[in-house]
Chains A and B, each alone.
Chain A
Amino acid sequence: MLIQQIINGLTLGSIYALFALGYTMVYGILLMINFAHSEIFMVGAYCGFWFLSMLPFLSAFPGLLIPAMFLAAIIFSGVLAVLMERVAYRPLRRAPRLAPLISAIGVSIFLQNLMMLAVSAQSQPYPESFNITRFQFYGATVNSLQIFIFLLSIVLMVLLEIFIHKTKVGQAIRAVSQNHVVAQLMGIDVNKIIAMVFFIGGGLGGVAGVLNGMYYGSIKYNMGFLPGIKAFTAAVVGGIGNIRGAIAGGFILGLLEAFSAGYISSENKNIIAFAVLILVLMVRPGGLFGEEVTEKI
């Protein structure tokens, strides 16, 4: 049972972690919480859904279909996030900090209702994209989809780490996150870098949405809300603005949820998980990885 709960928690945690990266990256660079990120997640899931249901002829080539679907979801949700930044946040960049926050909430409500009215108010079954095989593993059951979710998120996180720390653009992102003005003086196009951060964060959020849809088998216009709150919490616990922190926070939250539901009480699993998180924040107010102030993103 312990192993099974760890598997449950890690699968849940991979999705939270991928999702949390978008919150933490945007905070790192703009010091704002992008509440509309949960809608990017939802739109990403729908994009995968449309891709799978509109291109049935591709299902003959599953090796091609799945990468193509994820690519489509990344591009679609990434572009949506960039648009969001351009329309709703950039005009408010010099406004008081509450203004973009309210704007983000507005974007979130707008997108949710748009999807409800334009697409459907019902949950829709997610097409099965590959045959799921189950493995027995020390008395626990793990299926190929869970392994896929875990591996894909690890790969994406490693790629992101390399991108941020080893490339020139990554260096520019880190520079902008420390100081917009100075970065600009060094010849960095700040607007371009911010748009890029939104694109990456949004793309990862879209992937998390597709994974969520594949894993649970159904999607709905309000599917982003609850996981959004949890991913945001994961980002805060890891130390908001810190990429490794968000990843760790996501996995910690997933495992905490699985253990409290499995061993203590499923009715109060959110209460238990969040109570532990509050305790963590009381001991380390900056989050687990929050002290590296010099490197925010």
Chain B
Amino acid sequence: MKKSLTLIIASLLLFTGCAKEDKTVIKIALVCPLTGDVAAMGQGMKRAVEMAVAEANASGMFPGYTVVLAAFDDRADPKEAVNIANRIISDRRIFGIVGHLNSGCSIPASQVYAKENLAMISPASTNPKLTLQGLKNVFRVCTTDDIQGNIAADFVFNTLRKRSAAIMHDKTAYGQGIAESFKSSFESRGGHVTGFDGIDLGEKDFKALLTAIKSKNPSLIYFGGMYTEGGLISKQSKELGLNVPEFSDDGIFTNEYIKVGGKATEGDFASMVGIPAEQLPKAKAFMDRYHSWYPGVDMQPYDPYTYEAAMIILDAVKKTNLDKSKMVDYIAGVKFSGILGQTGFDKNGDTLNKIVSVYRVINGKFVYQPKK
């Protein structure tokens, strides 16, 4: 009796083991916040990878196989990011990870993927530390914060000719990192920083701090963080009669920022990695495809990067003949020509495209500002 019971259990285990691993499936993982404060950007990333996966299946890139998207929601929470990373490394059909969005999530999660040498390409985590950990499996297709902060400082100092700035940040790895980089390059050019203050995520009232900032008369507010807080800061500063533009980072480069801040955002600036998509023919074609796939949906700033990251992983899966152990080495040496132009990686895993553009809100839309 006992023996047969063990047999039944063993066969059950065997059966579930088989059912779990479908050998004709190639899974690409996407991890980003699909709910919570920055979900708008995460949902955009999901649409981009869905599109990449559907195109790969339609074009017959992998005969006999189906490409499947495994999307996970890390809620922009580092703890959740690590939980998900552990689930991902236990799924043997996942060939690579597109993600995460937030640097604070990417950094701890990348250490988990490194255990299995699983390739991870972040489309949006811009904190320099991510690729300075000495991990071979970590890549990113976006430019880092130190470059972005430096270009923002240069633009404020030389193009806008503003000599003083009040700096705010949201205390995250991303927001504080980019604010610090802005601060040091603005000061090294001779700019005057009137204050450097952190705010709490999820907080809605910044008027007390903005009142203190106003009393020091800065000619600009620099904010390192995301669109929800950024939009409220813009709105509340103008309500207090502090009529200076807000300059922020790629975290606010979305229409959601204009929705949250309303009319107050008119004249605000944002820096964004890469050249405007309209200026690259392949990127333009991508945008047209995206809009026909998702009619009436605003494209989010990182959708092209996410799409590119997914395409690089799919390309690597194909070129290595589905050999997961060769993926990382292949990507490290890749010269991929896609919608962002040619993408290659340096020895840390950072993209060799290091361009940052500045945009300004004009008539309720972000408009590209050429450097003077």
Contact = CB atoms under 8 A, between A and B. Distances in A.
A147 to B, nearest CB: 13
Nearest 6 A-B pairs (CB), nearest first? Answer: A261-B208, A267-B198, A266-B209, A258-B208, A262-B208, A8-B207
Interface stretch (A120-128, A156-164, A192-200): A120-128
B211 A217 contact: no
A63 B360 CA distance: 38
Given A8-B205, A8-B208, A218-B260, 10 more contacts: A216-B204, A217-B262, A218-B228, A218-B231, A222-B202, A223-B204, A226-B204, A257-B208, A266-B197, A267-B199
Contacts of B206: 261, 266
A136 to B, nearest CB: 8
22 contacts: A4-B214, A8-B205, A122-B39, A125-B262, A134-B239, A134-B241, A141-B239, A216-B204, A217-B232, A217-B235, A217-B260, A218-B260, A257-B205, A257-B208, A258-B207, A262-B212, A265-B197, A266-B198, A266-B199, A266-B206, A269-B208, A269-B209
B205 to A, nearest CB: 6
A220 B232 CA distance: 14
Contacts of A122: 39-40, 256
A16 to B, nearest CB: 11
B240 interface: yes
Interface string B10-53: 00000000000000000000000011110110000000000000
Q: Interface range on chain A: under 10, 10 to 19, 20 to 34, or 35 or more? A: 35 or more
Interface of A: 1, 4-5, 8-9, 12, 116, 121-123, 125, 134, 141, 143, 212, 216-218, 220, 222-223, 225-226, 257-263, 265-267, 269-270
A265 to B, nearest CB: 7
Given A12-B205, A141-B241, A226-B203, A263 B212 contact: yes
B289 interface: no
A274 B226 CA distance: 26
Contacts of B204: 212, 216, 223, 226
Contacts of A216: 204-205, 232, 235
Given A12-B205, A263-B212, A265-B197, A121 B239 contact: no
B192 interface: no
A123 B39 CA distance: 10
A225 B202 CA distance: 9
Nearest to B40: A122
Nearest to B262: A217
A5 B207 CA distance: 8
A257 B206 CA distance: 10
A4 B197 contact: no
A5 B212 CA distance: 9
Interface of B: 34-37, 39-40, 171, 197-200, 202-209, 211-212, 214-215, 228, 231-232, 235, 239-241, 256, 259-260, 262
A265 B197 CA distance: 7
A215 to B, nearest CB: 8
Most chain A Cβ neighbours within 10 Å, of B197, B200, B211, B228: B211
Contact of A226 (B171, B202, B241): B202
A259 B208 contact: yes
A123 B228 contact: yes
Contacts of A212: 204
A4 B240 contact: yes
A150 to B, nearest CB: 14
Contacts of A269: 200, 208-209
A4 B198 CA distance: 21
A211 B198 CA distance: 26
A143 B239 contact: yes
B39 A261 contact: no
Most chain B Cβ neighbours within 10 Å, of A212, A257, A259, A267: A267
A218 B205 CA distance: 12
Contacts of B40: 122
B11 to A, nearest CB: 39
Contact of B209 (A123, A134, A222, A262): A262
Nearest to B212: A262
Contacts of A267: 171, 197-200
Contacts of A218: 228, 231-232, 259-260
Contact of B240 (A9, A123, A141, A270): A141
A252 B236 CA distance: 22
Contacts of B207: 8, 258
B311 to A, nearest CB: 28
A5 B260 contact: no
Given A123-B228, A125-B259, A261 B202 contact: no
Given A216-B205, A266-B198, A1 B171 contact: no
Nearest to B236: A216
A40 B200 CA distance: 24
A5 B208 contact: yes
A259 B212 CA distance: 10
